[in-house]
């Protein structure tokens, strides 16, 4: 697959703070690229430079091999992390207004049907719930039939059902050939949607690869979860370096057979034993040392 967007040695400073510090990566056409990282890592600043909204202090951004220009503006769809919708106008009016910026757009009714906005079309934008507003913003980002989409935390604040619906919509847009750049704090979302992820911290990319490749490179162990009531804390911590969390004891091991034999020597009941593979949440924690959203 060819590269559609390439970022090289991007730097952005705000006074003494270097918010984006020498960031480079490229996005393959038709793929979904995820930018992850704790609050303040520099994701939005990076994405806004790529959108052409913020000017980098140094570094280059190439879209289809050229500097960002009119073609990019026509082909890019943007969903900001926060958007103030114009008030005192209806959903339909705002969509019509927005579509006037572009030469080639979807019809409003077509989009409204696809994103289940039909019943809100004539409602004032102030009366939308958080999730309805999010759906409207996604529909607006799609109005110009974008070839590349920027989605900055598209599912923050959505209920689980709406989040999964938005995943489906993103997947559909991708199947239709669009390239997607996404930021998220939901590791499950990144795993589900992204072909590649880059983890940022303090303005730098600290890891970048396909999700499974990153997991394979960082972990060769699994987590055994046992009911805390089944394994006395004193034994768990001393013998297994278990970490107790809520009602579970978590034991990380690279040798499951050996650990289970060890548990049996202490007569630990294993009826409620669960084994889970390491996931992106573990990786995030290990690399950034920060709890999600912390």
Ligand X SMILES: Nc1ncnc2c1ncn2[C@@H]1O[C@H](COP(=O)(O)OP(=O)(O)OP(=O)(O)O)[C@@H](O)[C@H]1O
Q: Which residues bind ligand X (CB under 6 A)?
A: 14, 17, 19, 37, 39-45, 81
Name the minimum Å distance from CB 62 to ligand X.
Answer: 21
Identity of the residue, 95 or 137, whose beta carbon is nearer to Mg ion in the bound complex: 137
> 198: helix, coil or strand?
strand
Identity of the residue, 58 or 241, whose beta carbon is nearer to ligand X in the bound complex: 58
Read out DSSP for 35-92?
EE-STTSSHHHHHHHHTTSS--SEEEEEETTEES-HHHHHHEEEE-SS--PPSSSBHH
Instruction: Copy the structure tokens of residue 249.
Output: 């004891």
The secondary structure of residue 119, as a DSSP letter, is G
Per partner kind, with CB cut-offs from 5 to 8 A, the member of ligand X, Mg ion, none near residue 211 is none
Site for Mg ion in 78-107 (CB under 5 A): 81
Per partner kind, with CB cut-offs from 5 to 8 A, the member of Mg ion, ligand X, none near residue 170 is none
Identity of the residue, 81 or 227, whose beta carbon is nearer to ligand X in the bound complex: 81
Per partner kind, with CB cut-offs from 5 to 8 A, the member of Mg ion, ligand X, none near residue 52 is none
Are the C-beta atoms of residues 284 and 36 closer than 8 Å to each other?
yes
Instruction: Copy the structure tokens of residue 24.
Output: 């480079």
Name the minimum Å distance from CB 39 to ligand X.
Answer: 3
Instruction: Copy the structure tokens of residue 252.
Output: 């990380």
> 255: helix, coil or strand?
coil
Identity of the residue, 45 or 179, whose beta carbon is nearer to ligand X in the bound complex: 45
Per partner kind, with CB cut-offs from 5 to 8 A, the member of ligand X, Mg ion, none near residue 101 is none
Are the C-beta atoms of residues 125 and 71 closer than 8 Å to each other?
no
Identity of the residue, 49 or 223, whose beta carbon is nearer to ligand X in the bound complex: 49
Name the minimum Å distance from CB 152 to Mg ion.
Answer: 6
Per partner kind, with CB cut-offs from 5 to 8 A, the member of Mg ion, ligand X, none near residue 146 is none
Which H or E run contains 172? helix 160-175
Identity of the residue, 207 or 224, whose beta carbon is nearer to ligand X in the bound complex: 207
Torsion angle (degrees, nearest 10) of CA 118, 85, 31, 48: 170
Site for Mg ion in 42-81 (CB under 5 A): 43-44, 81
Query: Interface with Mg ion by CB under 5 A: which residues?
Result: 43-44, 81
């Amino acid at each position: 697959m060819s590269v559609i967007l390439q970022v090289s040695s991007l730097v952005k400073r705000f006074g003494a703070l270097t918010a984006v510090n020498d960031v480079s990566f490229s996005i393959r056409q038709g793929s979904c690229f995820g930018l992850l990282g704790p609050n303040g890592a520099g994701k939005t600043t990076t994405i806004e430079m790529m959108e052409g909204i913020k000017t980098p202090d140094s570094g280059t951004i190439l879209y289809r091999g050229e500097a960002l220009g009119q073609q990019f503006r026509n082909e890019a769809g943007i969903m900001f992390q926060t958007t103030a919708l114009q008030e005192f106008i209806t959903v339909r009016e705002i969509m019509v207004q927005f579509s006037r910026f572009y030469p080639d757009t979807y019809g409003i009714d077509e989009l409204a049907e696809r994103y289940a906005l039909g019943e809100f079309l004539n409602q004032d934008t102030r009366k939308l719930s958080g999730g309805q507003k999010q759906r409207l913003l996604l529909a607006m980002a799609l109005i110009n039939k974008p070839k590349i989409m920027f989605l900055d935390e598209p599912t923050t604040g959505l209920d689980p059902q709406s989040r999964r619906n938005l995943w489906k919509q993103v997947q559909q847009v991708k199947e239709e050939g669009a390239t997607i750049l996404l930021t998220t704090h939901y590791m499950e979302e990144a795993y589900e949607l992204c072909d590649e992820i880059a983890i940022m911290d303090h303005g730098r990319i600290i890891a970048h690869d396909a999700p499974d490749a990153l997991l394979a490179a960082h972990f060769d162990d699994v987590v055994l979860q046992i009911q805390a009531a089944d394994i006395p804390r004193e034994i768990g911590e001393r013998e297994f370096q278990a970490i107790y969390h809520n009602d579970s004891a978590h034991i990380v091991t690279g040798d499951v057979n050996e650990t289970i034999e060890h548990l049996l020597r202490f007569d630990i009941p294993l009826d409620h034993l669960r084994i889970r593979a390491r996931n992106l949440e573990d990786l995030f924690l290990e690399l950034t040392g920060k709890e999600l959203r912390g």
